[in-house]
Amino acid sequence: MQVQQLRYFVAVAQTRHFTRAAELTGVSQPSMSKQIRVLENSLGTPLFVRNRGAIDLTSAGEALLPHAERILIDVEVAEEAVQEVAGLRRGRVRLGATPSLCDGLLPEVLTAFHRRRPGIDLEVHESGSRLLMQELARGHLDLALNIVSATIEHDGLVTTELLTEQLVLVGPPHSELAAEVALRDLRDVPLVMAREGYDLRDRTNAACREAGFDPVIAVEGGEMSAVLRFVEAGLGHAIVPQMVVATRPQLAVARLVSPTLTRTIGVSHRDEQAMSLAARAFRDELVRALG
């Protein structure tokens, strides 16, 4: 069993397609198929069920997949340990972040880190905090920049709180918003809501219900950038993180009171031994910039 064979196996298992997996790993499809057959022969059992137009894992393939993913992570950590000796000239960080954090604080941190470590490849994956934590636990991410109150505990993961920020109410340009708005006064105000599973949507719904009403939804289903555009177009108001307001200075902004709404941002990672050195360096960058 060779590491490269495991890479090919995991690529096919994730894409369920030999051609796409070959493209992702930079090898010809016939070569990949041959190496997987060699792997199957060495294990004495098929790993895939090859049907016309569909590739499925056999029970043996299902059993091998989590072990193969962990082996590849360990290999990557070992490679990057050697690279640190050479000054972290090469490496990769797979960072997960919520869309609002991608729109807000992340660009400046990425720019500063890239300036210091130009040889480190940065991959950013946008999703909600719960899904990010799941992907981190599976080894598909190195770090997750998320909303602490929305995260789910996973064994072997550590979360460091970085900062707490306020949520604010935004309205269309030139709307007559007071400087402060009580949450109960939004009872009949049409709101633009993010998609289901988005942390901010859950927080908004919960806050409105605690204030004694269900929110009136004008539009729903967008990511943060879409929510801000819909508000800008006059479709309704929205409760958003204060940091994203800077990206839309034309919007009217009011501070929420009675109660004040906040969220805490943290960075999550696997335990120190499982972290790559490039990921540690980027985690330290986040703590310096935001902690």
pLDDT at residue 218 above 60?
yes
* Rounded distance between C-alpha atoms, residue 286 and residue 281, angstroms: 9
* Rounded distance between C-alpha atoms, residue 290 and residue 145, angstroms: 11
pLDDT at residue 143 above 60?
yes
pLDDT at residue 97 above 70?
yes
Region of residue 58 (phi > 0: left; psi between -120 and 50: alpha; otherwise: beta)? beta
**pTM for the full model?**
0.64
Residue of 157, 173, 187 lying closest to 250 (CA atoms): 173
Grade residue 200 by pLDDT with cuts at 50, 70 and 90.
confident
pLDDT at residue 185 above 90?
yes
Lowest mean pLDDT of 48-52, 152-156, 172-176, 216-220, name the range.
152-156
Q: What is the model's pLDDT at position 27?
A: 86
Q: What is the model's pLDDT at position 141?
A: 92
Tokens of 244: 């994203």
* Rounded distance between C-alpha atoms, residue 141 and residue 231, angstroms: 33
pLDDT at residue 272 above 70?
no
Phi, psi of 284 (to 5 degrees): -65, -35
Across all residues in the chain, what is the average pLDDT?
Answer: 87
Q: What is the DSSP letter of 75?
A: H
Q: What is the model's pLDDT at position 177?
A: 87
Sign of CA dihedral 93, 98, 103, 109: negative
Find the mean pLDDT for residues 178-190.
93
Judged on CB neighbours under 10 Å (0-12, 13-18, 19+), 14 is: middle
Tokens of 48: 């895939």
* Rounded distance between C-alpha atoms, residue 286 and residue 291, angstroms: 7
Between 18-25 and 3-15, two packed helices, what is the crossing angle to 10 degrees? 130
